Structure 1
């Protein structure tokens, strides 16, 4: 049974799915195969929300249990399929990928949801190969830069109970490119970037969120060896940045649990209460409205070495 993403998956915490902003609401697909009003499409261990205009997922959110992982060997659980609940006309199908440099880039990675009993893991593996869970990723990006956060999730060691909530999706901008095969082929919009947010319960019981953005730009498409030298922490962003780039409204806990706190929103810090960002003080949790001047002041009050220590403390790649 496809229960989809579970909000209470993490011990002692309930993490809601992202909600579309007012600007996005009109672009949310009502899947014809789901009950009226049910727009989130459930799969095994993950759920996603579809865009009308791009025919790609706005986000895909997964429950990941690395302590119960199963290995699905050979060619099992790898057959791409059209989800009839969403409708063939509402998703990008194989025509856009066959004979092109564009990969069916998994949003929720296949191996991230292959946990539980073997049969459940096998079904989850198959579910992850729905075209709704794929987005236009250049083969160099899909097999290189994007592999870095995917492998980090697979090798994650800091979560209590080895459980993670992993949310991910494309970022579309006014500068997006379009792919076409010629006359009669409907152009496909190519994401300018992709984001991933990982939330987990640390060993000490605290909730922690790490968020990342990877741009699918000209430089990333030139190389196939970036994953050997880039460091994941250099792509880290605040939850506010994710909200601004995606138009999604994230659970407030994903702001307060993100250690990068230099932007307007629940995660900002009042400079008057700022003491030491490398320790967990009341100043870290203080919410306020920060102007450009206060953000600049906050940055000056923190030594660069202290910032590096803070980022390294919760970086896991």
Structure 2
């Protein structure tokens, strides 16, 4: 999807009027379409120009009205065109194309230990021509791409298995054309604790799709965090990363992924064995 529009935010992100290309389903030269929402989730989706798919630079997302967070974010990574750009001077802001009441902004994060966790990593998005990469850098800071995470969880996970999944892929796999498509987001559960009017997710998921030797592959991961102590002191006990099947991911998220993705989930061992936490990058089965 290619669109042209002007954006501004309540955090003074630069105004822009350039071509913004959202998630590209043909990025891997094999169709990897966006997740499909079930009927209930579709009714809950914030619409932009009649669509539940909201485009940004190199990523797109679907936003939940009731949860005020993205249900999923989809992004493309061109490893051969990554730029090293600073985040200096960039601030988080709400997307003024969308109703403010459906976005969780700074009011959720003030005066506590909640961090603003990027769903689509900023480092994954800053590729392409200089202007495009810079716009992606800025777009990554919209609150629609942010989810609440405990500060010690977010900061430690950046150097742990969860924060290094994409890097580990490039290090351990001969990725065709260095191109990867990724999906991720929170797992919404009825029992999620409500804090300042927002249900805080206790699980997050990520699905990485790539080609190796001309073969499409899909690898799914689940992160769980214990927020039971939030009522007392906003303290995180522990988080764990698991490698799971695409089928299990669909069950947990109520999303339907493309048939090409389900077929690319070829790790029979993952589906057959009990899940155990990934302790180190080397535990991942690519």
Q: What TM-score do you get using the length of structure 2 for normalisation?
A: 0.81
Q: Which residue of 2 aligns with 1:222?
A: 237
1:26 counterpart = 2:43: yes
Q: CA deviation at 1:167?
A: 0.4
User: Which structure 2 residues correspond to residues 45-124 of structure 1 after superposition, within 5 A?
Assistant: 45-73=58-86, 75-76=88-89, 78-124=90-136
In the alignment, the residues of structure 2 paired with residue 141 and residue 200 of structure 1 have an alpha-carbon distance, to the nearest angstrom, of: 27
Shift of 1:5: 0.5
**Counterpart Cα distance in 2 of 1:161 and 1:208:** 14
Distance 2:65 2:86 in 1: 35
Q: Does 1:38 align with 2:51?
A: yes
For 1:74 and 1:39, the matched residues in 2 are separated by 29
1:258 aligns with 2:270: no
Partners of 1:208 and 1:162 lie apart in 2 by: 14
- Whether the aligned pair in 1 keeps the contact of 2:83 and 2:126 (CA below 8 Å) is yes
Q: Are 1:237 and 2:244 an aligned pair?
A: yes
Q: Deviations over 1:170-198 (max 9, x none)?
A: 00112211113xxxxxx111012000000
Q: Describe the superposition over 1:76-125 as per-residue Cα deviations: whole angstroms up to 9, x where unpaired.
A: 5x321110111211100101112211111111111110011222111101
Corresponding residue to 1:8 among 2, 21, 26: 26
Residues 74 and 38 of structure 1, relative CA distance in 2, 3 Å threshold: closer
Instruction: Mark the runs of 5 or more structure 2 residues left unpaired by the alignment.
Output: 1-18, 229-234, 274-281
Q: Does 1:129 align with 2:141?
A: yes
Alignment of 1:155-304 (within 5 A): 155-157=168-170, 158=173, 159-180=175-196, 187-202=197-212, 204-218=213-227, 221-222=236-237, 235-261=242-268
The 1-side partners of 2:151 and 2:116 are apart by: 9
Higher Cα Rg, which structure: 1
Q: 2 CA distance for matches of 1:103 and 1:155?
A: 24
Residue deviations 1:140-199 (CA, integer Å, cap 9, x gap): 22122365333221343221111000100100112211113xxxxxx1110120000000
CA 1:23/1:87 → structure 2, altered by over 3 Å: closer, same or farther? Answer: closer
Structure 1: 5+ residue stretches without partners: 181-186, 269-294, 300-311
Q: Which runs of 4+ in 1 moved over 4 A?
A: none
Greater share of strand residues, 1 or 2?
2
1:99 is paired with a residue whose SS is coil
Is the Cα–Cα contact under 8 Å of residues 145 and 214 in structure 1 kept in the other structure? Answer: no
The structure with higher relative contact order (CA 8 Å, sep 6+) is: 2
Residue 55 of structure 1 and its aligned partner are, at CA, apart by: 0.8
Q: Distance in 2 between matches of 1:53 and 1:74?
A: 30
